Amino acid sequence: MSKFDRPPINPAELQAQPEAQQEKPRKDVEAVNEAQNFFRSLGLAVENDGLITKEPTEEQLVKLREWHDQTRDGGIDMPTEKAFYEKVLLAISLWRQQEGEKINYLLGKGTGVEVALRGNVAGRTKRPIEFSYRSHSDFELYGVDYEAAENGANLGGKPVYTESFVKIFGNQEYFPVTKTKGLKNIPPTLLHETAEIVDFGGVSARVPQLELLFLDKYLSRESTPRPEGHDAELLARQYVLDRAKTHQYLDQLAIEPAVAQIQAQTQKDYQGQLDSIKRNIAFTRREFEEEEIDPSPQDLVRKINERIQSMLDIHGAKKSISYSGIRLNLWQALTPEQVDSEGNVVDQEFLQRLQEKVKQMETSAIERYRGKHQELDQLFDGIEKEFATEAKTE
C-alpha cells in the first residue's frame, strides 16, 4: 500500500440501489441496455457481466470498424451521447480493464470524468444534479503498465492493447502508472490501489480515484468546456470529494514536481541567455567580416543592442519571446566593457542582474503553482455553499 490512504471503495461488485432510487429509470442503465441491444443486432454476445464478448469474429471486427468510422465526426470518436455509451461499452469489453487481480488500465481524463458523471461511483456520495454531454475525441487510458520514458513514451514499443481493441479503435492516448496528463511522479501503485469502481449503466467500469481524476482535469483543462463549466468543476459538484486529500495530491503530484522543474529551468535560462549572447556576438562578427570590415567591440555591441531593441519595440519586455536565442524578458543592453574578446559576458554586475531576473521569474512561477491551493479552496467553498443553499430551499 502506498503512503496515500485508499478511499472507501467496495472492491466487490456494486450494491443494488435503494428502492426509492429505482423508481425513476436511470438514464445510464437505459443507454447501456440500448447499446447492448445494438451489439446483439450485430451478432455479438452479451455476457453475464453485461460486457460484450471480447473475441468477435473477423467478420464482426470488420463491421465494427466500419461502424466506428461511420459514427465519428472528423477527429471526434464520440461526438454524441449515444456513441459514447456504445464505444465505452465496446472498449472495456474488447480490452478488459481488470483480469483477475490485474488492472490493465483505467479510463482517465475527459472520458473518465464522463463515465463518473453518468454512472455511480461505489462508496461515494453523488449529488442529484445532471450535466449535458461533452463530445470526446478519443479514450485517454491511465495506469497502463509498460516500460515508459520520462515523457511517458513506450520505450520497448510493446503493444499495450488487445488485438481486437486496436483493430476497432486504432491507437489511443495512454499513460504509464507514474503520470497522467496533469500529474507527475505518481507512486507506481497508487493509481491501481485507489481506482474507483463505477456502476456504468449496470456494467463495471474503472476510473482513477476521484480526487486524482479531479486534480488531473483541473490542471489540464479541456479547451471546449460544457455550458455548465469545465470537467473538474462538474466532477467536484457531482461528487463530494475529500478536500484534504486533494490538497495533499496537489502538493506531492503537481507542485513539488513543478517546483523542481522550474528551478532546473532557471539555471538553463540563465546559462542559455549568456550562451545566446556569445553566439550572437560571433554571428555579428562574421557579418562584418563578410563585408570586409574588422569590427571593434563597440561595433559588435551596438549592432546587437539595435537588433534586440527593435524586437523589444515590437513585442515588449514582458513576453517570453526569444530572438536568436536571446530572451527579451531577460535582456540587458550591453556595453563593450562587459564582454571579453571571445564574447563571454564577464561583468559581475551584469551577471548578478541576470541572476536576479531569472530568480524573479522562478519565484513568480512557483507562486502561481502554490496559489492553486487558494483556488481549490475557493472552488470547494463555492460548491459547498451552492448545495447548502439548495438544501435549505427544499
Helices (H), the chain: 19-22, 27-41, 58-70, 81-94, 109-118, 163-169, 190-193, 210-219, 231-238, 243-250, 256-290, 297-315, 348-370, 372-393
| Band (2; pLDDT cuts 50, 70, 90) | very low
Identify whether 389 is part of a domain: no
* Domain match, 111 and 166 both: yes
- Residues 197, 92: contact at Cβ < 8 Å? no
Q: Residue 393: which pLDDT band, with cuts at 50, 70 and 90?
A: low
Q: Are residues 204 and 87 in the same domain?
A: yes
Residue 191 shares a structural domain with residue 336: no
Query: What whole-number percentage of the chain has pLDDT above 90?
Result: 82
Phi/psi for 206 (5° steps) reads -125, 135
pLDDT for the residue numbered 23: 60
Between CA 280 and CA 274 the distance in angstroms is: 10
> Once rounded to an integer, what is the mean pLDDT over residues 104-122?
97
Let me know if residue 273 belongs to a domain.
yes
Q: Tell me the DSSP string of 307-355.
A: HHHHHHHHH-SSS--EETTEEGGG-----GGGB-TTS-B--HHHHHHHH
Per-residue pLDDT reduced to its tens digit, 169-190: 999 999 999 999 999 999 999 9
Rounded Cα–Cα distance for residues 162 and 174 (Å): 14
Pair 178, 278 in one domain: no
* Claim to verify: residue 274 and residue 188 sit in the same structural domain: no
Report the distance separating Cα 147 and Cα 179, nearest Å.
13
The whole model's pTM is what? 0.83
Note whether residue 19 is domain-resident. no
Same domain, 84 and 230: yes
Contact indicator for 253, 184 with CB cutoff of 8 Å = yes
When pLDDT is cut at 50, 70 and 90, the band that residue 156 belongs to is confident
Give the percent of the chain with pLDDT over 70.
Answer: 93
The tens digit of pLDDT for each residue in 16-72 reads: 444 444 467 899 999 999 999 999 999 999 999 999 999 999 999 999 999 999 999
Residues 227 and 261 in one domain: no
Confidence (pLDDT) at 148 = 86
Angle between helices 210-219 and 231-238 (to 10 degrees): 150
* 199, part of any domain: yes
Position 196 in a domain: yes
Band of residue 306 on the pLDDT scale cut at 50, 70, 90: very high
Q: Do 188 and 324 belong to one domain? A: no
Gap between the Cα atoms of 185 and 178, Å rounded: 6
Q: Is residue 20 a part of any domain in this protein?
A: no
* Domain co-membership, 182 together with 76: yes
User: Closest Cα to residue 136, out of 154, 117, 109, 165?
Assistant: 109
Residue 8 pLDDT exceeds 70 = no
Q: Based on the domain organization, do 59 and 166 belong to the same domain?
A: yes
Whether 376 is covered by a domain: the verdict is no
Tens-place pLDDT, residues 127-145: 999 999 999 999 999 999 9
Cβ atoms within 10 A of the Cβ of 116, count?
27
Which residues span the domain enclosing 207? 27-144+158-240
- Report, as an integer, the average pLDDT of 268-278: 95
Co-location of 99 and 53 in the same domain: yes
Beta strands 203-207 and 173-174, pairing class: unpaired
CA pair distance 112, 102, nearest whole angstrom: 19
Same domain, 325 and 230: no
Integer-rounded Cα radius of gyration of the chain: 28
Would 34 be classed as within a structural domain?
Answer: yes
Counted domains in the chain: 2
